[in-house]
Amino acid sequence: MGHSNRSNFFWSRLLKRLTPSALSHIPRLMKFVWSASPYLLLLTTIINLINSLLPATQLYVNKLIIDQVILTLKTPEIPWNPVFIFVIISFGLAIAQDSLQELLTYFSQIMKDRFTLHANEILLKQAVHLDLAHYELPEFYDLLKRAQQSGSSYPVLALETATILLGQIIKLITLVGLLINFNPLISLFLLFTSIPTFSIGVGFSEKRFKMLKKQTQSGRFADYLQSIMTNNNFVKEVRLFNLENHLMGQWRTIRLQFNQEIENLAKKHARVNVLAIIFSKTGFYMAYAWVILKALQSQITIGDLSMYAGAFRQSQGAMQKILESIVKLYETNLYIQQFFEFLELTPKIKNPINPLCFPTFLQSGLVLDNVSFTYPGSLRPSLHHINLSVQPGENIALVGTNGAGKTTLLKLIARFYDVNSGQITFDGIPISKFDLVDLRRNIGVVFQDFARYNLSVSDNISFGNLDEYKNFDLIRQAAIDAGASEFIEQLDHGYQTMLGKMFPGGHELSGGQWQKIGLARAFMSPAQILILDEPTAALDAIAEYELFQRFRQLAKGKMTFLVSHRFSTVRMADRIVVLDQGSICEMGSHQELMDHNGLYAHMFKVQSSTYRPDLNPDSKP
């Protein structure tokens, strides 16, 4: 009774694992492969089908050779010619089989390369299609990491496995056709002895997948530690503070733990798999002994003995290959699921069904009406109840302590996020009604953490307006406007000089020079709205003053937003908006705010006191 219960439990677990959902993503993957290379997939399948028919044919021809040789030895008057004809046929089959296998390998490699390119392209398109809200969540980075790992290898592995599975099924069918003449039950017997290996493979595939999934976050942390030790942005501090051994120790601890977990699982798998292999081999040799007995009893010929022995061995091998392929498909299905989960993510910021074009010329301007916003995953609002109207051509400065919500406000204006409540409008039209590409084409932004591309100077500037990517006159004018042309022209290759040290011949810029490149990128834009978020933090006071004098001239007629901690710059704005803990607490010109003697006046006097020790920050203006 106990044995029966254990047997039922074994089969129920096995069938549960192999429900249609366990391989649910394989059909979708095949469609994916077909879209990448339909003709090669069809050609590979045909070659695989033909190649799978040859082993059984070869076994049968070898049987004919042996029987013909024995018959000729027993009956000398029978000519030898048929033997050599069969040998030539066998030779031709062997050449055909090897040639088709080489052809299959060649086409499979081409198809794998094309599909890998296609899969990675789809993954990259999805990554850049998703909006900033996804990038705020750690869970997103875990899924992205798993999708990158799965997308780069497992779809190709699934493709190879499916091809092998199809070929082995056809091969087994032809071999079973030979074995039926001997005993119809022999194939079921060989299948039965292969099942333990199959079941063990399925179980350990699931355990391996769960282990690797659990390791994702720690693996990302180890990768980050590795990047710290190899990235130019960290190299100075790592050396200065002697962090090498500390970081290496943390990295090594994680990796050693991973290796130990993998080793323990592999050890368990090997131990139980040995028993399954012994069981499988026992089944084969029992069948082999059976066919030898039949030959000794003269119930079959020596050629039949050779054919059946080969068919037993190859059919059991084919069965094991089929079961192994199903196990691999089951395992790859688990990983591919992560790849498709990533592809199924949808951006939260979407184009409306019938998007409107952004106004060619703003008339009434921008209005933020009772706007509140909380970042995904955060409990504390970053902005609440913001009310602000900005006229076309008006120059607005945003001031406040770190974390007051200045950059968040600018991100909402560029619609990197949607507000949680309230509304943002341009000329009375809600921002969500505009085409996203057109909206952002009309908003030029330089953030404090602007991108520093390890590409040419020309690329770094022209990325501000790809429509004018090859317009050198416009690129050079943008550099002049940003005050960058002087040092650019002194570089070895001028505007074609590679920046950064990642690639040979690259030239590293100072922080101030990089910021001028970032500003030049903004000046490339034909946008009606310019946003400068701490764009001059690396410039000295004189360079910043000169830059903003030029900026005021260049930005005439455009709506501009400026974030800066230097009040010498801020006071040049038409209007200053002061934020504190996510709310607007003051608004007005420099003089109006100084007269009000609130937060702005206090911040101004604190900063001024660093230049004028005689000035008391707590005194009234």
Find which of 194-198, 335-339, 365-369, 555-559 is predicted with most confidence, using mean pLDDT.
Answer: 365-369
Angle at 333 between CA 163 and CA 149, to 5 degrees: 100
Residue tagged 């042309």 (tokens): 485
On whether residue 200 sits in a domain, the answer given is yes
Place of tokens 């029992």: 286
Whether residue 37 is found in the same domain as residue 138 = yes
Residue 116 has a pLDDT of 79
Q: Are residues 334 and 411 in the same domain?
A: no
Q: What is the CATH number of the domain that holds 34?
A: 1.20.1560.10
Select, from the ranges 373-387, 435-449, 497-511, the one with the highest average predicted confidence (pLDDT).
373-387
Domain final position from 286, 317, 343:
343
Same domain for 397 and 325: no
Based on the domain organization, do 323 and 449 belong to the same domain? no
pLDDT at 287: 74
pLDDT, mean over the chain: 79
Rounded to whole angstroms, the Cα distance separating 447 from 564 reads 11
Q: Rounded to two decimals, what is the model's pTM?
A: 0.64
Range of the domain at 310: 23-343
CATH number of the CATH domain containing 519: 3.40.50.300
* Interior/surface letters 80-103, b for 16+ CB within 10 angstroms, e for the rest: eeebeebbeebeebeeebeebeee
Residue 16 belongs to some domain of the structure: no
Comparing 377 with 487, which gets the higher pLDDT?
Answer: 487
* Residues with Cβ within 8 Å of residue 393, at least 6 apart in sequence: 556, 557, 558, 559
> Quick one: 27 and 175 in the same domain?
yes
Q: What percent of the chain has pLDDT over 70?
A: 84
Is 524 in the same domain as 404?
A: yes
Mark which of 303, 325, 343 sits at the end of a domain.
Answer: 343
Residues 318 and 452 in one domain: no
**If we measure between CA atoms, which residue out of 447, 569, 564 comes closest to residue 515?**
447
Backbone φ, ψ for residue 388 (5° rounding): -155, 135
132 shares a domain with 74: yes
The reply to whether 335 and 408 lie within a common domain is no
Does residue 17 lie within any of the structural domains? no
Confidence check: pLDDT of 355 > 60: yes
Summarised one tens digit per residue, pLDDT across range 265-304 is 888 878 877 877 777 777 777 777 777 777 777 777 777 7
pLDDT at 202: 65
Based on the fold, state whether residues 339 and 456 are members of the same structural domain: no
Model pLDDT, residue 613: 54
Q: Assess if residue 431 is contained within a domain.
A: no
Whether 273 and 144 share a structural domain = yes
Higher pLDDT, 120 or 179: 120
What CA–CA distance (Å, rounded) separates 517 from 509? Answer: 10
**Model confidence band, residue 495 (pLDDT cutoffs 50, 70, 90):** very high
DSSP assigned state of 524: T
* Tally of structural domains, the chain: 2
Task: Name the helix (H) or strand (E) containing 575.
Answer: strand 575-580
Instruction: Report the pLDDT averaged over residues 434-451.
Output: 84
Q: Which residue has the higher pLDDT, 550 or 527?
A: 527
Q: What would the two tokens of residue 15 be?
A: 């069938």
Question: pLDDT, tens digit, for every residue of 163-175?
Answer: 777 887 887 777 7
Task: Point out which residues pair with 533 in neighbouring strands.
Answer: 563
Q: DSSP character for 351?
A: -
- Return the higher-pLDDT residue of 603 and 425: 425
pLDDT of residue 278: 78
Over residues 436-440, mean pLDDT: 88
The reported pLDDT for the residue numbered 305 is 76
301 and 403 together in one domain: no
Confidence of residue 621 (pLDDT cuts 50, 70, 90): very low
Residue 384 inside a domain? The answer is: no
Instruction: Tell me if 352 is assigned to some domain.
Output: no
Residue 382 covered by a domain: no
Q: Return the minimum-mean-pLDDT range out of 76-80, 137-141, 257-261.
A: 76-80
**Residue 469 within any structural domain of the chain:** yes
Residue-wise pLDDT tens digits, 301-327: 777 777 777 777 777 777 777 777 777
Q: Measured between alpha carbons, how far is 441 from 465 in angstroms, rounded to an integer?
A: 8
